[in-house]
A and B are shown apart, each in its own frame.
Chain A
Amino acid sequence: MMLAPATGLLGVFIVIPMLLTIWLSFQNWSTQTGFETATFVGVQNFIDIFANNSVGRDFKAALVNTAIYTVLSVLIILPLSVMLGLLVHQKIAPGGVFLRTVLFSTYMVPMIAVALVFSKLYSPTEGPLNQILGWVGIPPQTWLSAPQTALVSIVILNVWQQVGYFTVLAVAGLTQIPESLYEAAKIDGANPVQRFFSITLPMLSNTLLFSAVICIINAVQVFEPVALITQGGPVNATNVLTFHIRRVGIERAQGGLGSAMAVTLMLALVVAIALLFAFARSREMKNS
């Protein structure tokens, strides 16, 4: 009885929209018309989004782009956040708190401001990044202007903005590690590298698992930099799933197809997170 209000709210705002999206993924429906106009088409929408026509090619490309973006973001952000966390947490040199403030401030900058600045930084002819590279003899890079480099450029932007947040999480994890463990390891003659791999990393595993889950969810939901800077281009190189679903479901009003894409994205995310937990559990069992 006491849980009824909370359960009711969950049902109205989370469960019902999810069930509605799943139901719509089996319908042919224009988002501009009422639900009563939806017509059942079975799994046709799912067949279409994996077909070898423009609908299928665009969706598969967006799925691959999202996967690449997510993997690169996680692989760069997590090690970097631990490294920066160690720098912030250490007490040998001063400035840790200042560094933490600077790092976290990037997370608080609104994406519109980040997008404006990075689109100018990345300008191939007049951008400061290419000018700086030119001073050290590196030829100008194409950044957002070529399909080979555009997605990586968006990943760099994401890393720049998110790494401060994950550094704070890493620091929180580091503060939980008892100092006595390091003292004991030092007495046993362990060097800093051995102490990192034998104490720090294992003790950070729960923090890193949480960080990985959040990082994956954030990366899969990437939308703003694509919508603000590249519009999915060039040649679909930065067309990620959330942006593509918006294009199909809202701009083109193809609600059934858009819902099928959203359901596939949700399933992919569930599978990715489940695999991550399974991997963490197997490691835990192996260690114990």
Chain B
Amino acid sequence: MLFRASLGAIGTAAVLLSSTALVQAADVSFLTHWAPDTVAKLEAAAATYTAAHPDTKITVRAVPFGDLLTTLRTSGGGAGGATIAGIYDAWLPDLAKDQLVAPVPEAIAADVRANWPAGVIGAASIGGTLYGIPNEIDVYALNYNKKLFEEAGITEAPKTWDEFLAAAEKLTDKSKGQQGFGLINSWAAGVLHPFSSLLVSNGGDLVVDGKPTLDSEAAKQTFELYEKLIKSGYSDPAMATADANTTGPFLDSFVSGKTGMIIMANWWESALKAGMGDDFANVATAPIPVGPSGDTARSISYSWMTVVNAKASAEEQAAAWDFLNWLNGPESGPDGASAMGDILMSMGILPSRTSDGAAFAERLASDPFLKGYTDTLANAKPFPVVLGGQEFSESLQKTLEAIQFGQVSAADAAATAQADATEILERNAK
């Protein structure tokens, strides 16, 4: 009797254990660089999903942006690493080359192709294979302090580089510790993207057909613009330190009204609001001023996507894609928007899914800060996505910082940047 009872208990335990195993059949972890309040929104969305999919368990892990690529490279790419990761498109070629990211399953890839703009899909693809579900797009614009403009007698945002330099001169007041235009240093993307935006607004490009064009006339003029800003004192490099966590003197100076103009991305909105409070009303957005070789105001754009770890088990990969498909789909968020789009909009980030653009159209149109960015989307040029992109970025960052601190002339900077970029891209392409 005791034997039969024991057998029954063991059998019940076995059934319970096996059902538990089934309930948590797929453990999916999501690696991101978002702040805690945004992580909480993602966790809430994951909870909604798992309520309907009890066989999947989703956990979210956040690291600072500066550590995201390193985390992916160390633990993220292994079998025990994160199943899903949000990545910057410039990292994709290297991650795909090392087979750390899995191709998107064909059914989901077809849905992505039907619902995202071609340019964004291109940035998430290598050799025609789609590796991630795009979610956000970022562009750059000129942010300026209306109060400082008024005090300096400037009536409207500069449209050309000449007007931009004239405004920078009027806004510079060393007795108040005030600079006209805020350059950035100590953060690769932060240094590169404003420079690249001015370059494309001057009719130039960073890379054409896989080859750098940093010695073009347009690029030389952009290096010269930086040199002028520094030599004339319109930009103070001591006020330029920044990092991807939006801390440091660069942010402090603009927030405290010591910087008249900056060039920054739309996702900066939440940091500005947090830092400025009511004074955020003084911030206005305008297109990037057009250079002497440019024809229209342009900006660079870059995108983020969610990828799945190629080393995760087949079950985990399947569960991860299913969750991402739902998270980025039109039924997971409010009023036809995706849950991902809703999360991104809470940070002032533009979702890249076409239907999200429509779902949030009213909100985007009514936000003057973001409207300045959405207006520039049509003329934006994607930041080059090439093998060795991170090394290329860090190398150009160093050259631009050398100009900021008067270590090289504009002409030497163009020559050095071109030589270094050529060597880096050729070596990484092998």
Binding between chains A and B? yes
User: Which residues of A are at the interface with B, using a C-beta cutoff of 8 A?
Assistant: 30-33, 53-54, 58, 119, 123-126, 142, 144-147, 227, 230-231, 233-236, 246-247, 250-253
Q: In chain B, residues 211-262, which have Cβ atoms closer than 8 Å to a Cβ of chain A?
A: 237-241, 243, 247-249, 252-253, 256, 258
User: Which residues of B are at the interface with A, using a C-beta cutoff of 8 A?
Assistant: 66, 69-70, 73-74, 77, 94, 98-100, 177, 185-187, 237-241, 243, 247-249, 252-253, 256, 258, 388, 390-391, 394-395, 397-398, 401-402, 404-405, 407, 419-420, 423-424
- Least CB distance from A235 to B in Å reads 4
- Least CB distance from A143 to B in Å reads 9
- Least CB distance from B102 to A in Å reads 14
List 24 A-B pairs, Cβ < 8 Å. Answer: A32-B98, A32-B100, A33-B98, A33-B99, A54-B391, A54-B420, A119-B247, A119-B248, A123-B252, A145-B237, A145-B241, A146-B237, A227-B66, A230-B186, A231-B186, A231-B187, A233-B241, A233-B397, A234-B185, A235-B185, A235-B404, A250-B73, A252-B390, A253-B98
Residue B401 contacts which of A227, A233, A251, A253 (CB distance < 8 angstroms)?
A233
Given A53-B423, A54-B423, A231-B66, A145:B239 Cβ within 8 A: yes
A34-B46 Cα distance, complex, nearest whole Å: 34
- Least CB distance from B293 to A in Å reads 27
B392: nearest residue on chain A (CB-CB)? A54
Residue B70 contacts which of A54, A142, A145, A251 (CB distance < 8 angstroms)?
A251
- Least CB distance from A133 to B in Å reads 14
A185-B29 Cα distance, complex, nearest whole Å: 71
Given A145-B238, A234-B401, A234-B404, A125:B73 Cβ within 8 A: no
Q: Are B398 and A236 in contact (CB under 8 A)?
A: yes
Q: Are B238 and A123 in contact (CB under 8 A)?
A: no
- Least CB distance from A223 to B in Å reads 12
B258: nearest residue on chain A (CB-CB)? A125
Q: Are B249 and A231 in contact (CB under 8 A)?
A: no
A145-B395 Cα distance, complex, nearest whole Å: 19
A205-B338 Cα distance, complex, nearest whole Å: 70
Majority DSSP secondary structure for residues of B touching A: helix
A-B pairs with lowest CB-CB distance, top 5: A32-B98, A233-B186, A54-B420, A145-B238, A235-B401
Residue A124 contacts which of B74, B238, B397, B405 (CB distance < 8 angstroms)?
B238
Which chain A residues border B258 with CB–CB below 8 Å? 125
A218-B237 Cα distance, complex, nearest whole Å: 31
A227-B98 Cα distance, complex, nearest whole Å: 25
B77: nearest residue on chain A (CB-CB)? A32
Residue A251 contacts which of B69, B185, B407 (CB distance < 8 angstroms)?
B69
- Chain A CB within 10 Å, residue with most, of B74, B405, B424: B405
A227-B67 Cα distance, complex, nearest whole Å: 9
A246: nearest residue on chain B (CB-CB)? B70
Given A233-B401, A251-B69, A54:B241 Cβ within 8 A: no
- Least CB distance from B93 to A in Å reads 12
A267-B390 Cα distance, complex, nearest whole Å: 29
A227: nearest residue on chain B (CB-CB)? B66
A234-B236 Cα distance, complex, nearest whole Å: 13
Beyond the given pairs A32-B99, A124-B249, A142-B238, 8 more chain A to chain B contacts, judged by CB atoms under 8 angstroms and listed by A's residue number, are A53-B423, A54-B391, A119-B247, A125-B252, A147-B401, A235-B398, A251-B70, A253-B98
Which chain A residues border B249 with CB–CB below 8 Å? 123-125, 145
Which chain B residues border A250 with CB–CB below 8 Å? 70, 73-74
Which chain A residues border B397 with CB–CB below 8 Å? 233
A252-B402 Cα distance, complex, nearest whole Å: 22
- Chain B CB within 10 Å, residue with most, of A33, A123, A145, A250: A145
A33: nearest residue on chain B (CB-CB)? B98
A144-B238 Cα distance, complex, nearest whole Å: 8
Q: Are B243 and A231 in contact (CB under 8 A)?
A: yes
Q: Are B100 and A124 in contact (CB under 8 A)?
A: no
Which chain A residues border B185 with CB–CB below 8 Å? 233-235
Q: Are A54 and B407 in contact (CB under 8 A)?
A: no
Which chain A residues border B248 with CB–CB below 8 Å? 119
- Least CB distance from B420 to A in Å reads 4
- Least CB distance from B85 to A in Å reads 14
A247-B248 Cα distance, complex, nearest whole Å: 22
A116: nearest residue on chain B (CB-CB)? B247
A31: nearest residue on chain B (CB-CB)? B73
Which chain A residues border B98 with CB–CB below 8 Å? 30, 32-33, 253
- Least CB distance from B387 to A in Å reads 11
Which chain B residues border A119 with CB–CB below 8 Å? 247-248
Q: Are A235 and B187 in contact (CB under 8 A)?
A: no
B64: nearest residue on chain A (CB-CB)? A228
A236-B397 Cα distance, complex, nearest whole Å: 10
A145: nearest residue on chain B (CB-CB)? B238
Q: Are A126 and B405 in contact (CB under 8 A)?
A: no
Which chain B residues border A125 with CB–CB below 8 Å? 177, 239, 249, 252-253, 256, 258
A138-B59 Cα distance, complex, nearest whole Å: 52
- Least CB distance from A150 to B in Å reads 9
Which chain A residues border B239 with CB–CB below 8 Å? 124-125, 145
A73-B186 Cα distance, complex, nearest whole Å: 24
Which chain B residues border A252 with CB–CB below 8 Å? 94, 388, 390-391
Which chain A residues border B69 with CB–CB below 8 Å? 251
A227-B74 Cα distance, complex, nearest whole Å: 16
A32-B397 Cα distance, complex, nearest whole Å: 25
